[in-house]
Chain A
Amino acid sequence: MSAPMTDAELKQLMKQLSRVAGLDLSDERVDRDLAAYKGHLAAIDKIRSIGLPIEAEPFVPLKR
Chain B
Amino acid sequence: MDVTRRDFLAGSLAVPVVGRPALQVPSDLSYLSLTDAAALIKALRLSPVELTQALLDRIDRLDGKVGAFITVTREAALRSAREAEREIAAGRYRGPLHGIPFGVKDTHYTKGIRTTANTPVLVDFMPDFDATVVARLTRAGAVLVGKTNLPEFSFGSAGGGGAFPDAHNPWNVARTPGGSSSGSAAALAAGLLTVATGGDTSGSIRNPATFCGVVGLKPTYGRVSRHGIVVISWSLDHVGPMSRTVADNATLLNAIAGRDPADDTSSDLPVPDYTRALRRGVRGLRAGIPKPAQFDGYHRDVMRAFEESLAVFRKLGAIVKEVDLPPTSDVIDEVQQIVRIAEAASYHETFLATKAERYATTTTVRRDLESGSLVTAVQYLRAQKVRARFVHDLTAMFRTLDVFLTPGMPAPAGEPVDVKQPFRRMFNVCGFPALVLPNGFSTTPADLPIGLQIAAKPFDEETIYAAAQAFESATEWHTQHPNL
Binding site for B on A (CB under 8 A): 13-14, 17-18, 21-23, 25, 29, 32-33, 36-37, 39-40, 42-44, 46-50, 52, 56-60, 62-64
On whether the beta carbons of A25 and B370 are closer than 8 Å, the reply is: yes
Q: With the chains together, A63 CA to B432 CA distance in Å?
A: 10
On whether the beta carbons of A62 and B220 are closer than 8 Å, the reply is: yes
Residue of A nearest to B458 (CB): A62
Does chain A have a CB within 8 A of B35? no
On whether the beta carbons of B370 and A29 are closer than 8 Å, the reply is: yes
Q: With the chains together, A54 CA to B368 CA distance in Å?
A: 31
On whether the beta carbons of B371 and A47 are closer than 8 Å, the reply is: no
Chain A residues, CB < 8 A from B372: 36, 40
Name the distance in Å between A59's Cβ and chain B's nearest Cβ: 6
On whether the beta carbons of A56 and B385 are closer than 8 Å, the reply is: yes
Using known A-B contacts A37-B374, A56-B388, determine if residue A32 contacts B367 with beta carbons closer than 8 Å.
yes
Q: With the chains together, A21 CA to B376 CA distance in Å?
A: 10
On whether the beta carbons of B392 and A60 are closer than 8 Å, the reply is: yes
On whether the beta carbons of A50 and B327 are closer than 8 Å, the reply is: yes
- Chosen A-B contacts, 8 in total, with CB atoms closer than 8 Å, are A18-B374, A40-B372, A44-B375, A46-B334, A52-B385, A56-B389, A58-B388, A60-B388
Name the distance in Å between A11's Cβ and chain B's nearest Cβ: 11
Q: With the chains together, A31 CA to B385 CA distance in Å?
A: 31
Using known A-B contacts A47-B386, A48-B382, determine if residue A60 contacts B352 with beta carbons closer than 8 Å.
no
Chain A residues, CB < 8 A from B375: 40, 44
Chain B residues, CB < 8 A from A36: 364, 367-368, 370-372
On whether the beta carbons of B341 and A40 are closer than 8 Å, the reply is: yes
On whether the beta carbons of A21 and B373 are closer than 8 Å, the reply is: yes
Name the distance in Å between B401's Cβ and chain A's nearest Cβ: 15
Closest 10 CB pairs of A and B: A58-B384, A43-B334, A36-B371, A37-B371, A17-B374, A33-B371, A56-B385, A64-B459, A60-B388, A62-B458
Residue of A nearest to B382 (CB): A47
Count residues of chain B with CB under 8 A from any CB of chain A: 43
On whether the beta carbons of B353 and A52 are closer than 8 Å, the reply is: no
Chain B residues, CB < 8 A from A50: 327-328, 331, 386, 389
Q: With the chains together, A43 CA to B382 CA distance in Å?
A: 11
Q: With the chains together, A36 CA to B52 CA distance in Å?
A: 45
Name the distance in Å between B219's Cβ and chain A's nearest Cβ: 11
Chain A residues, CB < 8 A from B376: 17
Complex interface residues of chain B between 350 and 409 (CB less than 8 A to chain A):
352-353, 364, 367-368, 370-376, 379, 381-389, 391-392
Chain B residues, CB < 8 A from A17: 373-374, 376
On whether the beta carbons of B386 and A52 are closer than 8 Å, the reply is: yes
Using known A-B contacts A14-B374, A60-B392, A62-B222, determine if residue A23 contacts B331 with beta carbons closer than 8 Å.
no
Q: With the chains together, A43 CA to B269 CA distance in Å?
A: 35
Name the distance in Å between A45's Cβ and chain B's nearest Cβ: 9
Does chain A have a CB within 8 A of B172? no
Chain B residues, CB < 8 A from A47: 331, 334-335, 338, 382-383, 386
Chain A residues, CB < 8 A from B368: 36
Name the distance in Å between B192's Cβ and chain A's nearest Cβ: 35
Does chain A have a CB within 8 A of B337? yes
Q: With the chains together, A49 CA to B381 CA distance in Å?
A: 15
Chain A residues, CB < 8 A from B364: 36
